[in-house]
A and B are shown apart, each in its own frame.
Chain A
Amino acid sequence: MTKATTQPSTPITPRVHPTPHGRVSLAHGGGGQLTDELIHDTILPRLDNKLLNDLLDSATLPATGTDRLAMTIDSYVVQPWRFPGGDIGRLAVCGTVNDLAVCGGEPLGIALSLILAEGFEMTALGQVLDSIAVASIEAGVPVVTGDTKVVGRGQSDGIYITTAGIGRVPKSRMLSPQRVQPGDVLIVNGPVGEHGLAVMLERELPQVISVLRSDAAPLNGLTQALLQRVPDVLFMRDATRSGLAGVACDIARDCGWRVTLDESCIPVRPEAQHAADMLGLDPLEVANEGKVVAVVRPYEADAAVSAMRQHPLGQNAQVIGHVGHESDGLCELRTLIGGRRIIQKPYGEQLPRIC
């Protein structure tokens, strides 16, 4: 597989805020004085923006007559809540921003709902909110409204986050797998498998020290750059749960043509491959949180790859496969040794092998 170079880093440091002390109590979610205190002392200083600071029952976002609105929602329950390269807060912002971005949307704002377990450390909450702030600045998308609830000890094990997002999509933009035709090519913006493997390694084999990091990152800058250069991108999807394999299978099924991926072109970092080998998993089948698969017409492939490569999150962009003329809706892999085999969408829960 293609060797990938070092991950780009975006050095954004959050403003330093006083570290909150103690633990979350049920009253923090009760809507009374303690909730107000939590919002004013811990949340607002970190996520500071005019729309949020108003604390109205809903945020009012600007709109124009020519655009359509895209809306999305996602919940985050990752265990452990903190992992190499990120935490649940960063994930919650990036995931929702990316869902809007791959639909060709320009995200306008995020709604943030926190469900905390009684007893959750306030310092940990501060860290999660810091991550949310950093990711929101990186994406240039403010958190405009929110909610906090606390559940009793034992009802949840730490912190769950739900984020919803609204974005603006130009009327002319039509991204759909139905538009994909034989000859079209698939492009990915960088090495795959890193988020899922980093989390799994942290959860299952914490004693293993690895340089592997989650790739969680907001992709809206990258997708906008791509769309500016190649306005007629046919389809995009972020390769989250079920990984690159899942996205490729979805594209093949939905367009009805055979999709062939070339294993030698799929970027995988050596540390990700090692982690996958250790855990008995396939890097193609595990989650990414900063990777997008774009399908473009063959004559626009070079422009699309170079547009991605000019962006920090797309330096290792590659053409990884193409759409064939067989109308069976299958996804196949041309392997490193020149063999061929089918790729299927993974079952769901990733079960580590015995040996």
Chain B
Amino acid sequence: MTNTKDTTARSLKALHETAAKVGKPLSFMEVCGTHTMSVFRSGLRSLLPENVTLLSGPGCPVCVTAQSDIDMLIELACDRYVTICTYGDMLRVPGARGSLERARGDGADVRVVYSSMDAVDIAQQEPQKQIVFAAVGFETTAPATAAAVDRAVKLKLTNFAVLASHKLVMPAVTALLEGGGVKVDGFLLPGHVSVITGWRAFVSIPGKYGLPCVVGGFEDEQIVVALADLVSMVHKSKPSLINQYPQAVSEEGNTVARALLTKIFEPCDVPWRGLGVIPLSGLALRPAYKAFDAQRKFHLTRPPDREPKGCRCGEVITGAVTPPQCVLFDNGCTPTHPIGPCMVSGEGTCQAWFKYHRVRVPNKHRAHADSTAEYEVTA
């Protein structure tokens, strides 16, 4: 414990010293929702140098899921022969007509599972039911969905399907960089995703775009070390990719998981919340596995992507605005009554701000929400 504390203190000191030398404002994007949560939970934001800002990127699986995917899921849940198996985060995301949680209250069969395999088990145990697994997430959860489909094939299950809205991280980061709307000085790359993709997947960020990157772990001191590295690379004007999570992340990544992914899925163009359709950024079942495609099986047509009125989740997940700049933040949209997905998910940026970084300020005092709603840290 003492060693960890020492490392953190040392890295924090280095971070402050180098940031002071750089002088100008620096903003780094953490791409992973788990990083967002760790940063808030550890109180790290209150310890950052004044000129260093952290922006949350499109790394919360629930938040980047397009409204149309959620609407299709809720529509499916209303079918009384269908059981929806979902990860807990998705339960409360509002769609055009209610949420899965509300559908469950109205009598729909919606079950929270911890693993895609649980959904396969349910399909096996309840052959009279049609089981649909809500497959969301990045490269971290996609191999598990692939494994579930693979197992369903072996078990010859005809009552199992997936509504796949898996996403790939690098195409989204590329879209952000190409779009030019977001100005960042470097990236804290997602540790879990890199376990699967390997750090090599991200080498074009320093190579092509000249921005430093660090693959970081999720412990407090690992994040501080990663940030210190980022600032140091900016200071030396030597952008490269540093792997600060070598105990879990290799250059190649998990080749077995990726082989399974390639066997079951192929890249496809998919809509992202806030980013629109990004070419080859999603995963569709290969033709041989189309029997497990819930959208096809239940003849679902993708509804138009209409986002809740006033909701700025799309801009929040691209780092364009911070949550208090959204007029709905703490003003109708709260974790108890969420309007946008970023307020629902445990990894959502809005929920993190609301939960760990906010003082309830009466609306009349909120003319400049972004400056007053923030939790003031007095040393």
Please provide the chain A residues from 320 to 354 with a CB less than 8 Å away from any CB of chain B in the complex.
328, 330, 333-342, 344, 347-348, 351-354
Question: Are the CB atoms of B357 and A354 closer together than 8 Å?
Answer: no
Q: In the complex the two chains form, what is the Cα distance from A308 to B75 in whole Å?
A: 55
Question: Are the CB atoms of B114 and A205 closer together than 8 Å?
Answer: yes
For the complex, is A170 an interface residue (Cβ under 8 Å from B)? no
User: 1/0 per residue B223-257: CB within 8 Å of A?
Assistant: 01000000000000000000000000000000000
Known: A280-B346, A354-B347, A355-B192. A340 touches B43 (CB 8 A): yes
Contacts of A348 in B (CB 8 A): 336
Contacts of B346 in A (CB 8 A): 280, 351, 353
Quote the shortest CB–CB distance from A200 to chain B (angstroms).
10
Question: Are the CB atoms of B44 and A337 closer together than 8 Å?
Answer: yes
For the complex, is A138 an interface residue (Cβ under 8 Å from B)? no
Q: In the complex the two chains form, what is the Cα distance from A215 to B89 in whole Å?
A: 28
Question: Are the CB atoms of A355 and B44 closer together than 8 Å?
Answer: no
Chain B residue with Cβ nearest A280: B346
Contacts of B224 in A (CB 8 A): 337
Quote the shortest CB–CB distance from A17 to chain B (angstroms).
36
Known: A339-B43, A339-B47, A340-B46. A351 touches B347 (CB 8 A): no
Question: Are the CB atoms of A339 and B375 closer together than 8 Å?
Answer: no
Question: Are the CB atoms of A341 and B375 closer together than 8 Å?
Answer: yes
Question: Are the CB atoms of B220 and A337 closer together than 8 Å?
Answer: yes
For the complex, is B302 an interface residue (Cβ under 8 Å from A)? no
Contacts of A355 in B (CB 8 A): 34, 61, 137-138, 140-141, 192
Question: Are the CB atoms of B40 and A341 closer together than 8 Å?
Answer: yes
Q: In the complex the two chains form, what is the Cα distance from A58 to B224 in whole Å?
A: 64
For the complex, is B5 an interface residue (Cβ under 8 Å from A)? yes
Question: Are the CB atoms of B42 and A335 closer together than 8 Å?
Answer: yes
Please provide the chain A residues from 85 to 119 with a CB less than 8 Å away from any CB of chain B in the complex.
none
Quote the shortest CB–CB distance from B154 to chain A (angstroms).
20
Question: Are the CB atoms of A336 and B42 closer together than 8 Å?
Answer: yes
The size of the chain A interface, using a CB distance under 8 A, is 24
Q: In the complex the two chains form, what is the Cα distance from A335 to B377 in whole Å?
A: 13
Chain B residue with Cβ nearest A284: B41
Question: Are the CB atoms of A353 and B355 closer together than 8 Å?
Answer: no
Question: Are the CB atoms of B62 and A354 closer together than 8 Å?
Answer: yes
For the complex, is B25 an interface residue (Cβ under 8 Å from A)? no
Q: In the complex the two chains form, what is the Cα distance from A339 to B92 in whole Å?
A: 31
Contacts of A280 in B (CB 8 A): 346
Quote the shortest CB–CB distance from A235 to chain B (angstroms).
23
Quote the shortest CB–CB distance from A39 to chain B (angstroms).
37
Q: In the complex the two chains form, what is the Cα distance from A339 to B47 in whole Å?
A: 6
Quote the shortest CB–CB distance from B377 to chain A (angstroms).
6
Question: Are the CB atoms of A342 and B141 closer together than 8 Å?
Answer: no
Quote the shortest CB–CB distance from A350 to chain B (angstroms).
8
Contacts of A271 in B (CB 8 A): none
For the complex, is A282 an interface residue (Cβ under 8 Å from B)? yes
Add 7 more A-B contacts to A342-B356, A352-B89, A354-B62 (CB < 8 A): A328-B359, A337-B224, A338-B43, A351-B88, A353-B89, A354-B61, A354-B137
16 residue pairs bridging A and B, Cβ less than 8 Å apart: A328-B359, A335-B41, A335-B43, A337-B9, A337-B224, A338-B9, A338-B43, A339-B43, A340-B43, A340-B46, A341-B356, A342-B355, A351-B88, A353-B87, A353-B88, A354-B89
In the A-B complex, list the 7 residue pairs whose CB atoms are closest, starting with the nearest: A339-B43, A351-B88, A335-B43, A341-B43, A352-B88, A341-B356, A354-B87
